Structure 1
Amino acid sequence: MRVGLIGRTHWLRDAGVIARQRGHDLVFLVTAPSANASQAGSQDLEVFAHEHGIPFHNTLRISELDLDADICISVNWTTVLRTPLLTRFPYGVLNAHAGDLPRYRGNATLNWAILNGETEACLTVHRMVEELDAGPIALQRRRPIGPDDDMTVLSRWLDEVLPTALVDAVDGIADGTLVFREQDPSIRPLRAYPRKPEDSRIDWRSPAEAIVRLVRASAPPFGGAITTGEDGREHRILRARVHRPDHDYLAVPGQVCFAIDGHPVIAAGEGMVEILECDAPDSKRVILSSLRNRLV
């Protein structure tokens, strides 16, 4: 099939690589300014396009381009694609969405899934319509979210499954084996809205379980969960776990209580949190410099 690529990130590039390997023709690549957490920015996509002789466009004015393809695949485009563009291609535009449709729609869906205590991650490939994440589903890929799984683990999983799933859907359309299914209207959508780095600031008055979920949801490729010492120094926590002490205690949330093998243990609003890894090598030492220290 003649496949167009629309969007950003290394996932779009990798889907293009797989599509070529499976015998599809890439007829254009349209991108826009790079996503902050992407492993492949607009310049990387331009290099990929030129290396393979693919017409390349770097513009947000996609509706003004003269584009022709049998089908398009889209990852992380910056704006809503409107119906005139979506219906321009005979087989439409496929999107890879890191959420369990029809429930999880919108942005940062895997981060929100961790924060919400979900036990399963889902990648959905669907045919785009103008309404956000509402199009018919082509296929889904799932994996459990374990109690210690964080965004580092789930991002690696997306690296493995997302590009392949997009091309699997293209293959199924090409050979006539793929059957789309409409989203179940009886399932009430859960709209996930974008998150900013500051949303990862820890409120030590929260329960320990909620704080650890925040750390997991903020792990690389994101910047970590944020806390600040009394000296004003900011620390980024990359890994943590709930600590269940063998004694009762009285402590103010944020209190540095003790250490386990050099890992600070901090009182939360309910329970304790053991800090396992920070972004700076000396952060744990600074936090543990005095048991009078408080994190805010």
Structure 2
Amino acid sequence: MRILLICSSFNGLTQRAWLALRRAGHDVDVELAVSEQAMVEAAELVKPDLVICPFLKDRVPARVWRGHRTVIVHPGPPGDRGPSSLDWAIADAEPEWGVTALQAVEEMDAGPIWGYRMFPMPAEPPRKSALYNGPVADAAVELVVEVAAKAGDASFRPVPLDYRSPEVRGRLRRAMRHADREFSWAEPTQDIVRRVRAADGSPGGRARLCDVPVRVFDVYRGPDLAGVPGQVVARREGAVLVGTGDGSVWVGHVRVEREGAVKLPAALAMGDLVAGVPERSGYSEITYDRSDGVGVVSFDFYNGAMSTDQCRRLAAALRYGAAQDTRVLVVRGGEVFSNGVHLNVIEASRHPELEAWMNINAINAVCREVLGCVSQLVVTSIGGNAGAGGVMMGLGADRVIVRDSVVLNPHYRTMGLFGSELWTYVLPRRVGPEQARRLTWEALPIGAAEAVELGLADKALGGSRLEFEARVLEYAERLAADPGYDRLLAGRRQVREVDERRKPLDAYRAEELAEMSRDMFDDRSGFRAARRAFVGKVRAQATPEHLARHREWSGASAPADAGASHM
């Protein structure tokens, strides 16, 4: 079936939908909803059997949905309507939520229902981004495949929306306003956590910190402290501890509300205002645990971005883990495994090019620790999406295990970078030189199943993230107890020694950095503009060439007022 995906951005959910539909045998094209003209033109070029909108903030033009069956994926249960569905679900502590596939009609979110999925909401308030990229995305991908199958069934008819039906549990909700995001530090900790997480990752909770208006993100319950609500009482690893009405919260990230400001680690964003605040334990992005011959270095960096400081701390943790008397070292990422260097910190730096250079060297040191550990077998546990250098960082292990819902983007080109992280060694070693060239040039997402087929990963495991992590740990424990362990470890050492004699890792690193210096300092491939567009969340003006196959085949160009786009 010929399917056109129309989306506001080619985000993680849309990438998963694209991968699932292609794997189901469908011919899938992508068009970004940059304008009504672009959407109409794409439908005329593709002539799709079905249009699916997995992530769309804008109205589908009538010329599209009247001419082609068009299904909208809405992040709410049947009957739910409005642009702030997940925000309200978290803010109102809904016990259950859902995702609905409905046909586009004149009235927004009011069309006939093609299918839906329901799921229980976590007891602890989830971050909106975690809810969206987790259970919402899981349900949406199932629905997208189901919708495509139903579209091929001539007898199928979608069910009209009827609020008298017991299955229709939602209602029309207004868009959240600025006032709905505001909170006082004098409120109970739990209320603050829920308010902020309902707006995380965008637009954030609204408050004043150190008498400065800020958007607040990435919050965690702190210790029960008696103090002044709103006072910053401690800091650690970029986060600040703020007093509340009944205790405290750790605030990981804020964005100062001023022109040009970007979301940053809270201590960095507040600068001199918190410079004299003492350090305090109780918050850590990186931990180490061990059991049954297995050591686990866990890291969970917000949105998978790794700053220079975070990379240095992670490299130190890996050195510590490698020095222990365990037999297997598991390198475990968080909600997002890693997306490489921290573009926001780079952009906010007084000297962005220099910060980018320091950052790439620091993440290279992390990759070197993963590759250079020859005292233990190394397993990477990729339970969340990974991109660019984050993918390459994971490939240095003996075993790469991915969660079956993970999307990998093993490329740099769309950000105007050649790339480093020793990718010119680890990627061809895994998939061969030809596939490495294809993956980095095509700049397309790879699903977990395809990653295993290509050799990019060794195993894909299912389950929730916690279930996945438990299964990886069990795998590592079996590996540590394997009767052939000594042979496996000797093989790792031998391969590393042979490869090092053939061409040292320092040579790969030097060649990559020579290319990166031209990208970062000379800006030969548009890194500066791509970085600023990403950090500033600049809306794309056209569908990127590597996605817009229908325009390439037809010879049609993007609409006249459209410019370049970096994905």
Query: Within 2, Cα distance between the matches of 1:93 and 1:84?
Result: 11
The answer to whether 1:264 aligns with 2:249 is: no
- Tell me if 1:204 matches 2:205: no
Structure (1/2) with the larger strand percentage: 1
CA–CA distance in 1 between the matches of 2:63 and 2:203?
Answer: 38
**Which residue, out of 85, 91, 94, partners 1:109?**
85
Deviation at residue 131 of structure 1 after TM alignment: 0.6
Over 3 Å counting, the alpha-carbon distance change for 1:282 and 1:242 in structure 2 is closer
Give the partner amino acid of 2:76.
Answer: G
Higher alpha-carbon deviation: 204-213 or 93-102: 204-213
Alignment partner, residue 280 of structure 1: 265
The corresponding residue for 1:238 is 218
Per-residue CA distance 1:142-161 (angstroms, 9 max, x = gap): 22222242224212213433
Over residues 226-267 of structure 1, what are the superposed CA-to-partner deviations in whole Å (9 max), with x where a residue is unaligned? 54333648573412238667xxx7x765356799xx973523
| Contact 1:236–1:280 (CA under 8 A) maintained in structure 2 | no
- Whether the 8 Å contact between 1:218 and 1:238 is mirrored in structure 2 is no
1:18-76 Cα offsets, whole Å, 9 max, x none, are 222212223x533234xxxxxxxxxxxxxxxxxxxxxxxxx431346625222111133
Partner of 1:215: 196
Partner of 1:74: 53
What is the TM-score with the length of structure 2 in the denominator?
0.38
Secondary structure (helix, strand or coil) at the match of 1:107 reads coil
**Residue pair 1:137, 1:183 contacting (<8 A) in 2 also:** yes
Match of 1:52 in 2: none
How far off is 1:115 after superposition?
A: 1.2
Give the number of equivalent residue pairs: 252
Other-structure match for 1:137 = 113
The question of 1:87 aligning with 2:66 is answered yes
Give matches, 1:117-136, under 5 Å. 117-136=93-112
1:116 shift after superposition = 1.8
Q: From the superposition, tell whether residues 128 and 242 of structure 1 become closer, same or farther in structure 2 (CA, over 3 Å).
A: farther
Distance of aligned partners of 1:288 and 1:275 in 2 relative to their CA distance in 1, 3 Å threshold = farther
Q: Where does the alignment leave 5 or more consecutive residues of structure 2 unmatched?
A: 254-263, 279-567
Amino acid at match of 1:286: V
Structure 1 pair 226/16, CA: closer, same or farther in 2 (3 Å)? same
> How many angstroms apart in 2 are the aligned matches of 1:156 and 1:162?
10
Give the superposition deviation at 1:288: 8.5
* Alignment equivalent of 1:192, drawn from 174, 179, 202: 174
CA contact (8 A) 1:119 1:145 kept: yes
The DSSP-based 3-state class of the residue aligned with 2:192 is: helix
Whose relative contact order is higher, 1 or 2, with alpha carbons under 8 Å and at least 6 apart?
Answer: 1
- Rounded to whole Å, the distance in 1 between the matches of 2:219 and 2:160 is 39
Which residue is 1:53 aligned to? none
1:30 aligned partner: 31
> Matches of 1:254 and 1:231 in 2, distance apart?
9
2:146 to 168, 171, 180: 168
Cα gap change, 1:242 to 1:177, in 2 (>3 Å): farther
- Find the partner of 2:20 among 18, 21, 46: 18
The counterpart of 2:76, out of the listed 99, 108, 125, is 99
| Pairing 1:229–2:214 present | no
Tell me, in whole angstroms, the C-alpha distance in 1 between the residues paired with 2:127 and 2:243.
20
Q: Does 1:181 align with 2:159?
A: yes
**Sequence identity (%):** 24
Query: Equivalent residue of 1:105, what SS?
Result: coil
Inter-partner Cα distance in structure 1 for 2:156 and 2:275: 55
Return the structure number with greater helix share.
2
Residue 54 of structure 1: aligned partner = none
Paired with 2:86 and 2:206, the residues of 1 have a C-alpha distance of 19
The amino acid that maps onto 1:289 is V
Structure 2 counterpart SS, 1:239: strand
Deviation at 1:178, TM superposition (A): 5.4
Q: State the distance in 1 between where 2:223 and 2:109 align.
A: 39
Compared CA separation, residues 14 and 177, structure 1 to 2 (3 A): farther
Judged with a 3 Å threshold, the aligned counterparts in structure 2 of structure 1 residues 153 and 287 are, in CA distance, closer, same or farther, namely: farther
Scaled by the length of structure 1, what TM-score is found?
0.68
Deviation at 1:107, TM superposition (A): 1.0
Give the residue type in structure 1 aligned to 2:183.
I
Q: What's the counterpart of residue 47 of structure 1? A: none
Superposed CA deviations along residues 82-141 of structure 1, whole A, max 9, x for unmatched, are: 54431212xx11111111230x31213112211122122311111121111011222222
Report the CA distance shift for 1:20/1:264 in structure 2 as closer, same or farther (over 3 A).
closer
> Residue type matched to 2:152 in 1?
A
